[in-house]
């Protein structure tokens, strides 16, 4: 069995979606639950966003000891310095930097050319490494980035010492076959990638976030970024519970192990719903109220005889 790291971004990507805001106390409560669940990396927030976000990250970093605490930063000095401040008392901390690399984002969002973006990636990775030995780089909108330029961007971060390279499907655009191929290409063309953790971060705009995450694992990813109940921007992120149970139930197809305690998945889902006041849809896979319920008499008869039938 190969080891797969679980990176949970419920407190960052999930919490910033409409309707899921949490207080500092609530974030700390959920972070402790994620630690108990067995999450390897907890992305605690975006410290540069506000003094409240910074303080919340600091509380989590001081309290959680069994999981790595990650903080998000744009490729700017002030963002990275805020992350470093948030992680001062962390037992294990990671600075996660990101910069858009697709031409669409570079032109219309950042007003930046490709060369300038590469220079910012180099500078930001170098600065983040001064504050932390654990640095993750994400080329935002990777799945809509020209593949040759994506290789250059990833190579720049790896050369400066990034430990983790995350290839996000930022707008849920990719298909599983395309996403797997992108990981295989990066593995084949980036020097030193064998010493780096490759990570997948998928959004669910087309309902493919979990399928794409599993495809990334097949393509060489050894870390998956996800959220409890699949919450997140727009249609949400890849759902932690669905990924974990796919690995657990179909171990013959996905021979990977994680630290996740599957018995704590449902209580964690329920805690998030209680904290945010937003429940999960009744037919939500794994944690929905009707996930294991049957109305059909034929189905009920089969389950009574042998629950494996349905």
Which residues have a Cβ under 8 Å from the Cβ of 265 and sit 6 or more positions away? 37, 240, 241, 244, 245, 286, 287
**110-128 average pLDDT score:** 98
Residue 259 has pLDDT above 70, yes or no: yes
CA distance 98 to 121: 8
- What's the confidence (pLDDT) of residue 309? 76
Residue 301 has pLDDT above 70, yes or no: no
What domains sit in the chain, N to C, each tagged with a CATH number?
A: 2-279 (3.20.20.70)
Over residues 84-95, the pLDDT tens digits come to: 999 999 999 999
What's the whole-model pTM score? 0.95
What element of type H or E holds 250? Answer: none
Residue 294 has pLDDT above 70, yes or no: no
Quote the tokens at residue 252: 């013959």
**156-168 average pLDDT score:** 98
Quote the tokens at residue 81: 């310095």
Quote the tokens at residue 310: 């349905």
- What's the confidence (pLDDT) of residue 85? 98
Which residues have a Cβ under 8 Å from the Cβ of 293 and sit 6 or more positions away? none
DSSP 203: B
- What's the confidence (pLDDT) of residue 190? 98
Q: Using 50, 70 and 90 to split pLDDT, how confident is the model at 74?
A: very high
Which residues have a Cβ under 8 Å from the Cβ of 64 and sit 6 or more positions away? 31, 32, 35, 42, 91
Quote the tokens at residue 246: 């796919």
Percent with pLDDT over 70 in the chain: 98
Quote the tokens at residue 279: 């429940």
């Amino acid at each position: 069995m190969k080891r797969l790291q679980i990176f949970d971004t419920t407190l960052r990507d999930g919490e910033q979606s409409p309707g899921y805001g949490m207080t500092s106390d609530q974030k700390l409560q959920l972070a402790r639950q994620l630690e108990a669940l067995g999450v390897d990396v907890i992305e605690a927030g975006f410290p540069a966003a506000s003094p409240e976000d910074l303080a919340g990250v600091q509380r989590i970093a001081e309290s959680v000891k069994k999981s790595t605490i990650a903080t998000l930063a744009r490729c700017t000095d002030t963002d990275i310095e805020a992350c470093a401040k948030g992680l001062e008392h962390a037992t294990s901390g990671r600075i996660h930097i990101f910069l858009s690399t697709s031409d669409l984002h570079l032109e219309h969002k950042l007003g930046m050319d490709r060369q300038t973006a590469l220079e910012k990636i180099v500078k930001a990775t170098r600065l983040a490494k001064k504050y932390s030995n654990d640095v993750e780089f994400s080329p935002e909108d990777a799945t809509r980035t020209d593949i040759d330029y994506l290789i250059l961007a990833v190579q720049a971060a790896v050369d400066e010492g990034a430990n983790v390279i995350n290839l996000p499907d930022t707008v849920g655009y990719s298909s599983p076959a395309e996403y797997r191929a992108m990981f295989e290409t990066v593995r084949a063309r980036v020097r030193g990638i064998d010493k780096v953790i490759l990570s997948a971060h998928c959004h669910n705009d087309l309902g493919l976030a979990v399928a794409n995450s599993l495809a990334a694992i097949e393509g060489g990813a050894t870390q998956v970024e996800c959220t409890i109940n699949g919450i997140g921007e727009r249609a949400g992120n890849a759902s932690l519970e669905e990924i974990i149970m796919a690995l657990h139930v179909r171990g013959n197809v996905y021979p990977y192990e994680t630290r996740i305690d599957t018995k704590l998945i449902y209580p964690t889902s329920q805690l998030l719903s209680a904290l945010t006041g937003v429940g999960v849809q009744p037919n939500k896979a794994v944690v929905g109220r009707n996930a294991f319920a049957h109305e059909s008499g034929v189905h009920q008869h089969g389950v009574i005889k042998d629950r494996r039938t349905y």
